[in-house]
Structure formats: C-alpha cells, structure tokens
Copies of this chain bind each other. A is one copy, B any other.
C-alpha cells in the first residue's frame, strides 16, 4: 500500500518534471517569488501548524534542543521567504553549455545541463529545509519529493501547501513540490526503492539516516554531510594564526558539519603551542580529549580511538601531537570522514604536500574549516555538502542539481 502511494506521488512528480524541464527561467523565478510572498502571507497558518508540532514533540519527551530546531517564528518564516527570493536571483543552471565542439565530420556537439527529473530529499528536523529544498529543486528544473521527519509533519504540510498553491498560481505544476505521505519508516523505504521513478535521492541529517539511505537505496544517492574535520598545525605555522583558526573552527558553531573535531600539532611546536591552545579552548568552554602531551594539562581528558573517529558536534575536540607532516597525513587518512581538513603553515612545500595528499572534499590552507559552505563559496544556495566522490563533492549549489545531455546536430552524417 505504501509503495503504491509513493509510486503515485512519484508518477505525478514525473509528469510535473516534464513541464519543469522546459520551463523558462522567467517562469521559474515568478513561481519562486510567488512562493516567497505566499509564505509571508501565510505566516499565521504556518506558525499555528508548527505550534501543534512543537506541543506534540514536547509532550513526547523529545529533547529540548531538538524541539528548538523544530520551532518556527515569524522571523524564521520570513527567512525561508528570503531564501526563495535569493534562489530566484541566481542564474538558471539549465541550458548551460558545459562543453562543445565541431567534430571532423561536421557534427556539432554540445553538452548541455538538464534537470535530473525527480529528486527525493529525506531529512530530519528543521522545517525550513522544506522551503529551501523546494526552491533549489524548482530553480534547477526538478520536481521534488520531500520526506521530512514525522515530528515536523504539520509544519511541512502547511509550508508545502503554500508552495504548491503559489507554483500553480504562476502556471507551473503544483506537483513540482510534493510531500511523501504516510506514517512510519515505510514511505521513506519505498522512496529508496523507486528506481526509474526517482532520479536521485539526497539524505540530509545524522550519520544514521545517511547510512541507512546509502545501504537500502536502489535509487542513486548523493551522500551528504558527516564531518570529522581536522586542523593540522605544522612546525612552520604562524602560531597566532593557528590559535585563531583552531578556536574559530571549533567554537564558531560547533553543531555543524564543517566544525573542527580533531587537532593535530607538529612535535616541534608542541611546547610553544599546546599550552596556549589548551588554555584558549578551555576558556571557550571546550573539553579537550588529548594524547599524553595534551593530557599533561589540567582538565584534558585522555583521548581514545573512538574520540579520533567521532564527529562530536559539540564543544569537544580530540587532540594529538604528531612527529611530522606524514604522520598527520596518516592520521587524517585513518580517521577523516572526507569532508574538510586544514593545515596552518608558512611552508609552501608543506601546503603543497598537504593539499595534494589529503583526499577530502575541501582542503584548506591557513583558514578555518568553517569556510566549506555553499554560501561562503559564493554559490548563493546550497542543498547540502557531498562527502562522496560521484557526481558532486563538497558544497552543492544549483549546477550540482543537474545532469547533462549531449545534443548533436548534423546534415545527414552516417558512419
């Protein structure tokens, strides 16, 4: 039954995707502006639905931090609307000619960006993802099937209802944006099995969600977001700069995937740097989980293998002294999740070796790991940060939400 329900929304999405693929930028932008205006106008209805979700969550004993992520207010609704307007302002990726040439036989070859078709998004928590994802998918010409968490069900329904009506009011198909209906885990599982109907699935959420989608999906998946990010302080680091970078990477926003989770310090600068960085981190409220050198300082917890591998997402950091750059590279190779690693160094050779040898989505020299972000990279919108190597790696903006096709024109060529 669930499978057929998901199949029926997916079939409607495919129909809508045919129209969306051919929609002009002007038509898509008009829909995005109408969606933004619609959300602002419907603020009361959205907040009423959200209030019911928040009450139910509080009643269910869901932790306060999670209830807080669920909670909307008028500012957050206005923020969703602003996000949609920003996406309207971005260039349309569809139709971009990625490469082109004229072949020896006169055939004209062009590789052109086209939408995927139907994109499935499985996500947890914050209802603003609903509007963000719908906007990015619509602008890139894709129909979207949204599967949010059940705790945000009423909020998501209210938001999607506004978005659908706005799309339809400008002449685009309402089915460009649909929620996947149904209770429990089955609808998400049916979405993962909808190969042929859904072109790509993007899970956004914790490591457990992402792992289950990757393992169970027959639809192609873009894996996002788990970040066990490292900062390596080289023997030739400017130590003032290193201190700024470590503190920023760890404490600026510890709950996000581009926050630093591990600190590696070259042995030659350990005496000069370890006391300073431990003091500064502790002053900022960070618990340091360190090796022997670090643990000689008051308040430092002994580090475990598990600490090295963890994405804390909290004011904790694993810390270790390494004998040289190669040992830092081995440590990163062993424990990194492939998201972002940074080196602090004045040495051109060390920077070159680090950027060549580290196999992560982003490798940063002399700056905070916090810069791995679609907004910071200037993409204007971001659907997530891919930590896989296929299709897209790193922050994904609008072009990453497209495929391509080859258009070949001739005048009768045969082989």
Q: Mark A345-360, 1 if CB is under 8 A from B, else 0.
A: 0000001000111011
Q: Mark A3-20, 1 if CB is under 8 A from B, else 0.
A: 000000000000000100
State which of B18, B238, B333, B389 has its C-beta within 8 Å of the C-beta of A116.
B389
Quick check: B372 and A406 within 8 Å, CB to CB?
Answer: yes
Inter-chain contacts of A215 with B (CB < 8 A): 195, 218
CA distance A370 to B410 in the complex (A): 13
Q: Which residues 352-383 of A have a CB within 8 angstroms of B?
A: 355-357, 359-368, 370-372, 376-378
Q: Mark A286-328, 1 if CB is under 8 A from B, else 0.
A: 0000000000000000000000000000000000000000000
CA distance A92 to B245 in the complex (A): 35
Inter-chain contacts of A376 with B (CB < 8 A): 103, 415
Quick check: A378 and B103 within 8 Å, CB to CB?
Answer: yes
Quick check: B410 and A362 within 8 Å, CB to CB?
Answer: no
CA distance A341 to B361 in the complex (A): 36
Quick check: B218 and A220 within 8 Å, CB to CB?
Answer: no
In the complex, given contacts A361-B405, A363-B406, A391-B391, what are 9 additional A-B residue pairs having Cβ atoms less than 8 angstroms apart? Answer: A103-B376, A107-B367, A199-B390, A248-B415, A367-B409, A367-B412, A368-B415, A370-B414, A393-B403
What are 14 A-B pairs with beta-carbon distances under 8 A?
Answer: A21-B359, A200-B390, A220-B388, A241-B411, A241-B412, A245-B412, A252-B414, A361-B405, A365-B408, A366-B410, A366-B411, A368-B415, A376-B415, A393-B404
Quick check: B377 and A103 within 8 Å, CB to CB?
Answer: yes
Q: State the Cβ distance, A237 to closest chain B Cβ, in Å.
A: 11
Quick check: B405 and A393 within 8 Å, CB to CB?
Answer: yes
Quick check: A407 and B363 within 8 Å, CB to CB?
Answer: yes
CA distance A107 to B104 in the complex (A): 42
Q: Which residue on B lies nearest to A404, using beta carbons?
A: B393
Count residues of chain A with CB under 8 A from any CB of chain B.
Answer: 69
Quick check: B363 and A412 within 8 Å, CB to CB?
Answer: no
Does chain B have a CB within 8 A of A284?
no
Inter-chain contacts of A245 with B (CB < 8 A): 412, 414
Quick check: B391 and A390 within 8 Å, CB to CB?
Answer: yes
Does chain B have a CB within 8 A of A394?
yes
Q: Which residue on B lies nearest to A357, using beta carbons?
A: B22
Quick check: B365 and A409 within 8 Å, CB to CB?
Answer: yes
CA distance A411 to B376 in the complex (A): 16
Quick check: A389 and B214 within 8 Å, CB to CB?
Answer: no
Quick check: A114 and B413 within 8 Å, CB to CB?
Answer: no
State which of B199, B252, B364, B389 has its C-beta within 8 Å of the C-beta of A389.
B199
Does chain B have a CB within 8 A of A225?
no
Inter-chain contacts of A412 with B (CB < 8 A): 238, 241, 244-245, 366-367
Q: Which residues 74-133 of A have a CB within 8 angstroms of B?
A: 101, 103-104, 107, 109, 111, 114, 116-117
